[in-house]
Amino acid sequence: MLINNIKKLAAIMAIICGISGCATSLPVHEFADTANPSVEIQSFMHDMQKAQKDQINAMAPLSYQRAEERLTLAISAQQKGKSSKETLHEVAVGRAQLDYANKRAAVTRVNIGKVMSARQSAIIAGAFKHFPDNFNKIDARLLEVTSKIEKNDLSGVAGNSGKLQAEYLGIELDAIIQVNIGSARAVIAAAVEEGAKNYAKRSLAIAEKRTDETEAFIITHRHQSDEIKKRSEDTMLAANHLLKITRAVKVGKNIISEETALLQESQLINDPDENLDRRFEAVRSVFTKNEAEVYRKGNQVVIRLRALKFPANESALQTSNFLLLSKVTQALKEFQNPKVVVEGHSDSDGGPRLNHKLSLARSKIVSAYLVSTGAVNESSVLSVGRGYEMPLSSNKTVQGKAENRRVDIVITPQIVTQ
């Protein structure tokens, strides 16, 4: 466990530093004779657990280790039937150590607060669970720094903090990727092991491409958890689809081809069909990465128009927008009479009512353009204003606000079985 590794590392640091007796000068507030040892031990354990969640054991490892040792002594004293006074004394000394650890941790936060935030994010992402060895190596380097800070030695702090922060951010990203596409990769690997390269080349290419696209999205938008979840689900669908096709063709070998297996699956199983996969790939190929982001959301295709820029508080199309919109028209030709929702989005400047009105105006002008070119029927397109409810980036920066002023095209195709 993560906590046990912190204990071991802190104990080693305490031995190296030779400070096991440094706590004797701390003020200790003894308990009243009427205090209940069991109640006080439970209360102390609760506060120690809270301190662990607050990363006190990593920010002030030496003091926290001494507090933990006193908790162990208090529990042992009670179990051995020692007097309440002796047991409560251990709790009192332990609490003095914990109070001191909290004070020293505050100093650590001032000096390497960004490092500790990055570490907490890595823990939440599951970095220790998925990459325990690498996480422990980073933690060992962190404890070398925090142990020095705890002794008021700030030498080397500035030189190490940036590297530590980068390492925690890196392992956080690795964990997010593993959690969201690790299973899909395992399924794809299993399919390859069973002969996907020979039996299901097209399905393999689609599954691998979807996995790569999801990973690329995570790398640039690691904290957009809802969107990542949708994409990871689509990626898993593609991986499972690949494995099914591989096994179906493998069993049939010379009797059944991948194309036949795909057709049978589309007719017999309620999974996304090959037609939609092919159309999705065709739409994706229309745009460059800088122009638009194309992804699947269930049986829908979403075109996020990154290069469609609106000036602040304006909804008029710019001359520079028309080339991109012509590509949207081209993409829509891949579908037969699709239902289209044009979603307008805004930054957070102004109130909710103003931004809803502005985002709706942006969606309507794009819808009008698509109808005017014959890309969609007027009865098949819906304009929606989302305001600033679904930001892609932080609205605290100029760049983030610009990215949030956007239009998304959500396409729901008719089911085609040709």
As a whole number, mean pLDDT of residues 349-357 equals 81
Res 36 pLDDT > 80: yes
Least confident piece of the model among 4-13, 40-49, 65-74, 77-86: 4-13
pTM over 0.85: no
Whether 69 and 15 map to the same domain: the answer is yes
Res 332 pLDDT > 80: yes
Residue predicted with more confidence, 320 or 259: 320
pLDDT recorded at residue 84 = 92
Whether 96 and 236 map to the same domain: the answer is no
pLDDT recorded at residue 260 = 55
Per-residue pLDDT reduced to its tens digit, 108-152: 999 999 999 999 999 999 999 999 999 999 999 999 999 999 999
Whether 96 and 18 map to the same domain: the answer is yes
Angstrom distance (rounded) from CA 35 to CA 95:
15
Contact between 306 and 403 (Cβ < 8 Å) = yes
Instruction: Give the end of a domain, one of 155, 190, 224.
Output: 155
Contact between 408 and 304 (Cβ < 8 Å) = yes
| Residue 173 forms part of a structural domain | no
Angstrom distance (rounded) from CA 229 to CA 223:
11
pLDDT recorded at residue 253 = 55
Per-residue pLDDT reduced to its tens digit, 296-314: 887 889 999 888 877 777 7
**Residue 415 — pLDDT band, cuts 50, 70, 90?**
low
Report percent pLDDT > 90 for the chain.
Answer: 46
| Residue 163 forms part of a structural domain | no
As a whole number, mean pLDDT of residues 236-246 equals 88
Whether 265 and 278 map to the same domain: the answer is no
pLDDT recorded at residue 5 = 57
Whether 6 and 151 map to the same domain: the answer is yes
* Alpha carbon separation from 355 to 50, 117, 312, 316 (Å, rounded): 41, 33, 11, 15
Whether 291 and 243 map to the same domain: the answer is no
pLDDT recorded at residue 211 = 93
Per-residue pLDDT reduced to its tens digit, 197-238: 888 888 899 899 999 999 999 999 999 988 999 899 999 988
- Domain residues for 261? 180-271
Helices 2-17 and 132-150 pack at an angle, to 10 degrees, of 40
Contact between 180 and 232 (Cβ < 8 Å) = yes
First to last CA, the chain: 54
As a whole number, mean pLDDT of residues 157-166 equals 91
Whether 126 and 193 map to the same domain: the answer is no
pLDDT recorded at residue 144 = 94
Whether 212 and 299 map to the same domain: the answer is no
Instruction: Give the end of a domain, one of 207, 239, 271.
Output: 271
State how many domains the chain has. Answer: 3
